[in-house]
Chain A
Amino acid sequence: MAHQSELIEEDILAYLKSHEEKTMLRFITCGSVDDGKSTLIGRLLWDSKMVFDDQLASLEADSKKVGTQGGAIDYALLLDGLQAEREQGITIDVAYRYFSTDKRKFIVADTPGHEQYTRNMITGASTAQVAIILVDARKGLLTQTRRHSYLVSLVGITHIVLAVNKMDLIDFNQQQFEAIKNDYEQFAASLGFGEITAIPLSALGGDNMIEPSANTPWYTGPTLMSYLENVPVDGDSRAEPFRMPVQWVNRPHLDFRGFCGTIAAGTIRQGDELRVAASGQTSRVARIVTMNGDLPEATAGQAVTLTLEDEIDISRGNMLSAPDAPPLHARHPEANLVWMHDQPLQPGQIYLVKTATAVTPGRVTAVQYAVDVNTLEQKQVRTLGLNEIGVVRLELDRPISFDPYRQNRQTGSVILIDRFSNATVAAGMIIAAAPMEPQSVQSAGLRLELSSAAGGLSRRITLSEAAVGSAGVSVVDLTGESAEPAFDVSSSFLDYLGKGNRILLRLRGLEQLQAVALLAYEQTLSFEFDRTAEGVSILLFKRGIVSGGRASGDDGTGI
């Protein structure tokens, strides 16, 4: 900002005008305290003149008192946030820092590099477009360098700065720098980064931070600041098929129905055709409404309100998309899952799965494998503990609209929430819809999953939670089942009965009764038997629970 101060002084309006055109870059710094990470960030803040006089005064005082630079200014002290951390001398969470040049506003996610803090790095990286991977020039690549790089690639960051710091301690030796750079490029080849820029630095001395360093005449690449100011990141997401998760339906009066949301991909213009991903219904954009007047078009990243030409059924949770390139719509996404909670993943247990469009109960049905973040090796596991990462298969109670995370970070990401503690327990990045989507049928609100059991002699039937709004009695029609059924029961199904709801099973005949009786026996359920003209009906319920739904008696179910 220093070079701008003349303009500020002489023509503030021109200065403001030029700053209205600034873009924004979010980046993450990965490394440990020992790599000089805090010094590097402190230096960027310092050199962009975003440190104020009173902060400087307190920095000078703190540097003398608790600094690690022998009384000289300790830039790292600009960053420490919470008191407890300052006392421990470590950062234990994600902190966000801000600075600005005349080209860009920067948001830095500052995360610690210790092994146990995978969770923090994933959090900080989730919104970053660039990652700065710090390496101590004396030490070269460490295990943590590989770990950070893998995590950054997992979260979909493709622009990497390999910041080879403390070059002053190896006399700015070009060969050593090149060796580290080559090592890294070799290692990172499998991670699919778009570009890797290695910069020889001394954060403490300011070498190649803002200005090219006289100590590295052999280096011809950008300085760190110049890289950050110029790296093109605003992707091409606006050229991709349109996506807008509907966040809120704005209906102030009968003549206005606006669909509010943040555009996740693509560009939309008045008159463009849109499709509702879940229902397949289509309409055209009538208006793009804002308080500053209607827009002719809107693009990825903008939060807009659309009105459509036709009255079609759209609510929060739907995704509006390009008509010819809709997102996936399925119940069984496969995802990379990062576990973030002390209590390990319980496969089969219901969690709340939040995506860009909806919150849906769901469970992890299988952990395919876990990845060792240090060696990148796959290992077979039954579950995931804190800071462990694996590929899992999710089963959701309702289908959701999504894209693979590699295509879109907004529409391909999920978080898992514990139903009882409400803690955010995991972050997921969808890989694809699971290859074998079981066939599913709807039956009076109860979802039945049919999949063939081994041998083909019997049909295995999974009873899962009833669809919302079907309190009271749900009907499961088994009269079309030719073979003898076997039941798999999910916990949501038992929850459903536990709330006083009842299930009416329609059987073809007595030969299907044994399976039902076995189900009741195993799950300590009660049942009532009835014989009607159509066949046999069994009413399943949990005794001792008063139905919260409809009154008992004849409610049209045949009993």
Chain B
Amino acid sequence: MNKNLTHLQQLEAESIHIIREVVAEFGNPVMLYSIGKDSAVMLHLARKAFYPAPPPFPLMHVDTTWKFREMIQFRDKMAAECGLDLIVHVNDEGVRQGISPFTHGSSLYTDIMKTEGLKQALDRYKFDAAFGGARRDEEKSRAKERIFSFRSANHRWDPKLQRPELWNLYNTRIKPGESIRVFPISNWTELDVWQYIHLENIPIVPLYYAAVRPVVERDGMLIMVDDERLELKPGETVQFKSVRFRTLGCYPLTAAVESEAATLPEIIQEMLLTRTSERQGRMIDHDSAGSMEKKKQEGYF
């Protein structure tokens, strides 16, 4: 092997190193599994890091109860196949209060069902490290995020308390109650993720592939009618269109794009030829320029 390592080989090695470091240095890590393509890659890397053993930590999904049904099926199948414990946490208090993206707006809904739900789950199981699949190139405020991102005992992210990260020497020391969010695929771009999925044949949720699906047009976005909870507003009609999703989240908040891309190479082709960055499909970013940064300080990933 007298060839240089390719960029994907280098990214893979870095991620595996990070995942192993967490397992070696933390007492109770967990992998936050969002079921999307980035989580798929992260889970695949974790399996590689510990092969032939299964990864020595559970998967956890903070379920807002508004995920696409296909995501939930895929989640349960993957956890079983990988031999991992799956923790599904729902903010029951939010459910009791009837919090939904329709009645409470995307901002409050995300805060209660996702951010609060995540904090509850981390507190309940006393996890000291939580892997997340966020990447630095997703959004401007993430360009400075550490790979080991320190969180206070009340889960707050404070830019002043973040530690310098040198070489691959990660400071994993925390006090009781504090925790660290770890982002093993920080240095991957969207294209890297897709290329790696292609190269390694990593299974992903079918919603990424184009198919004819029932959608309504709302505020200029195509929203999929995934179940009966989506109530049509006056003038809205359900249309059947060939669509796919560039990112996956809660179905009322995730816009579909019209597409015929039904294979992985076609998806990558489409991504490279369309010049729209991936988070545009998520409504959460549209609130204000610094909205992701604010959410992060409050404990959102």
Contacts and interface: CB of A to CB of B under 8 A. Distances in A.
Interface string B1-36: 100111111111110110011011000000000000
23 contacts: A8-B273, A12-B269, A20-B199, A23-B6, A23-B7, A53-B275, A54-B276, A55-B277, A81-B140, A82-B293, A96-B144, A98-B137, A104-B7, A234-B5, A248-B23, A250-B52, A258-B52, A262-B17, A297-B1, A303-B49, A422-B174, A424-B171, A427-B166
B17 A81 contact: no
Contact of A105 (B141, B174, B192, B273): B192
Contacts of A543: none
Interface of B: 1, 4-14, 16-17, 20-21, 23-24, 47-54, 136-137, 140-144, 159, 162-169, 171, 173-175, 186-187, 189, 191-192, 195, 198-199, 265-266, 268-269, 272-273, 275-277, 280, 289-290, 293
A82 B166 contact: no
Given A16-B195, A98-B136, A98-B189, A291 B48 contact: yes
Interface stretch (A406-414, A445-453, A472-480): A406-414
A515 B137 CA distance: 64
B49 A54 contact: no
A305 interface: yes
Given A12-B269, A94-B144, A96-B187, A256 B52 contact: yes
A324 to B, nearest CB: 22
B178 to A, nearest CB: 8
Given A23-B7, A24-B6, A423-B163, 14 more contacts: A16-B268, A23-B5, A53-B277, A81-B142, A82-B159, A95-B143, A96-B136, A261-B20, A291-B47, A297-B1, A301-B9, A303-B14, A354-B171, A413-B169
A83 B187 contact: no
A248 B19 CA distance: 11
Interface in A1-43: 1, 5, 8-9, 12-13, 15-16, 19-24
A122 B166 CA distance: 8
A126 B266 contact: no
B141 A81 contact: yes
Contact of B175 (A267, A340, A422): A422
Contacts of A22: 6-7
A417 B23 CA distance: 20
A1 B171 contact: no
B275 A97 contact: no
Which 8 residue pairs across A and B have the least CB separation, nearest first?
Answer: A252-B53, A83-B290, A52-B277, A24-B7, A303-B16, A291-B51, A422-B173, A105-B7
B166 A123 contact: yes
A338 B244 CA distance: 50
B51 to A, nearest CB: 4
A409 B167 contact: yes
A1 B275 CA distance: 12
Given A9-B273, A248-B20, A120 B13 contact: no
Contacts of A262: 13, 16-17, 168
Contact of A415 (B7, B16, B171, B269): B171
B95 to A, nearest CB: 33
A415 B10 CA distance: 23
